[in-house]
Structure 1
Amino acid sequence: MEERKIADAIRQDNNRKAYCLQMLEKMVYGIDAEPVDLEALYNEDGAIWGVMVHFASGGTICVNVEGDSPLAMVQEIIKKAELA
């Protein structure tokens, strides 16, 4: 029973984070910033622990978002990938 609760919590958190990643990607394209692709990275439990940011210019950066709330994750990506 406890494992099911943990799996449900991970799934809900992943859904929220995936939604925020989609919105961030749309926002970056919408303001004519350098296009980026965002790729969620998962740990062995299936939780998102990081985001790989792929820039159109060819650069890539990995941002650790383990334990972050969805909005804190977005803030961290913007800061570390210098999207602002």
Structure 2
Amino acid sequence: MSTPGKNLEGAVKTANGVELNGVLLQPITEQCNGCDRIRTFEGQEFCSSYAIPSKKWTLGRCNFATHIKVEVVAKAKVNPLKASKRAAKGR
């Protein structure tokens, strides 16, 4: 799902693949589908933030992924006595 008009400006197709500013780009993986950072160049889709998207998914989820929402972990418990003292001081 790439946005028209936000393609990879200045990219060049070479024998090794697609090159942008001296960096060889690899196509996106299945996990990348739905991300807002996907750009299209000559019928293939590439990540606009990372040259080798498959490596970003090796340890879990990609930290650039816009289509995955992170669940917020419950806040740490606050000592009520300390909280009341802070409130009294005006912090």
TM above 0.5: no
Indicate the structure with greater strand content.
1
Give the number of the structure whose alpha-carbon radius of gyration is greater: 2
Indicate the structure with greater helix content.
1
